[in-house]
Amino acid sequence: MTYSTTFAQVSLANSSPAWRQILVVSDKNPISFPTPGYIVKEETVDGIATKTTYFTTGSIFRHIEQDGIHYYWFIVERVETNQSADPEALREQMAINDILTGGDGTNGQDSGGSESVPEAI
């Protein structure tokens, strides 16, 4: 399933056309939307989970089937995005980024080894 947003001029219930945000959900198979007024997209990238909730007018605005793909259009009223992080996945990603940028992969953390201390004379 693929989610994307765009803007289109839309006329609703005897109103003049106005620019509205449109959520387009597409897939090869037909999709049923048990709560079309509340559509949730969740994804995790580099240890950060993102939950995007699209609040729509409550019904499918348009359904198009083209080249074997089903496209469902919803008029968006509001969008909420929440992010949360998996600390271990973030540490791993930070270590990889550190190594790729020339660091030693410890992100400045003490590895617990002993340091060389000069002797007093």
**pLDDT band per the 50, 70, 90 thresholds, residue 95:** confident
pTM: 0.68
| The pLDDT value given to residue 109 | 56
**Residue 118 is assigned to a structural domain of this protein:** no
Number of domains making up the chain = 1
**Residue 121 is assigned to a structural domain of this protein:** no
Average pLDDT over residues 43-52: 87
Contacts (Cβ under 8 Å, ≥6 apart) of 4: 23, 24, 26
Contacts (Cβ under 8 Å, ≥6 apart) of 92: 47
| The pLDDT value given to residue 31 | 95
**Residue 113 is assigned to a structural domain of this protein:** no
**Residue 6 is assigned to a structural domain of this protein:** yes
**pLDDT band per the 50, 70, 90 thresholds, residue 102:** confident
Could you count the other beta carbons within 10 Å of the beta carbon of residue 75? 19
